[in-house]
Amino acid sequence: MKKIKFLVVPILVLFFASSCTSVRVLSDYDKEANFNSFKTYAFYKTGIDKAQISDLDKKRILKAIDTEMSSRGYVKSENPDMLLSIFTKEKQQVDVYNNYWGAGFYGWGWSPFYWGSPYYGGNNVSTRTEGSLYIDIIDAKNKELVWQGRGVGTLNNIRNMEKKEKRIKEFVSEILEAYPPGSAMN
């Protein structure tokens, strides 16, 4: 039984630690849009102002988007081909882990003193805030949404600002990896 604990616990810790650091990404786009015609961009202030996050986090996200777009050859402009907007959603996730070590009547370690009752280690309950960051690309001419990327993950109480900035950059980079659709970066 101790061998099982020593094998299972580290594997579970690795699984949950890795699941907390990943960003799950989805994207959708208008198949009729000509993404090759988009060379310049600007931020869509109206949409960004509605994002319900702190102004400091907005700045971090916009800076990360700027860096990512510039590295791909797009140029920020007063007369852009595309407008970029962001919005966020968050929800509380509740995780319940049952710790049943041992077993009952016919399971591991049965003895006349168990009488069918498993050893009960209790429940562990944890909560975390899972957030979604949406990046919208809007055709500046007709003000229509042509591409949307969404990253889902957690910033879970990151107090170190360098780590927080790194996590935000990771979110933005992973989301924009799918832009433009059909590119070699996909």
112 is a domain residue: no
100 in a structural domain: no
Report whether 169 contacts 64 (CB < 8 A): yes
What is the tens place of the pLDDT at every residue in 161-172? 888 899 899 999
For the segment 42-55, the average pLDDT, to the nearest whole number, is 89
- The CATH number for 153's domain is 3.30.160.670
Which percentage of the chain shows pLDDT scores above 70?
A: 66
Quote the pLDDT of residue 101: 52
Residue 82 · residue 41 · CB < 8 Å: yes
Residue 33, domain member (yes or no)? yes
Q: What is the largest CA-CA distance in the chain?
A: 81
Query: What is the domain extent for residue 132?
Result: 27-95+124-185
3-45 pLDDT tens trace: 544 444 443 333 444 444 588 999 999 999 999 999 999 999 9
Would residue 40 count as lying in a domain?
A: yes
Q: Is residue 10 part of a domain?
A: no
How many structural domains is the chain composed of? 1
128-151 pLDDT, tens per residue? Answer: 667 889 999 999 999 999 999 999
d(CA 63, CA 61): 5
Per residue in 87-121, pLDDT (tens digit) is: 988 766 676 766 555 554 445 554 555 455 555 55
On whether the pTM is more than 0.75, the answer is no
Nearest Cα to 87, choosing from 128, 148, 140?
A: 148
As given in the structure block, the two tokens for residue 1 are 């039984």
- Dihedral angle sign, alpha carbons of residues 97, 103, 105, 106: positive
Rounded (10°) CA dihedral 134, 135, 137, 138: 50
Residue 109 forms part of a structural domain: no
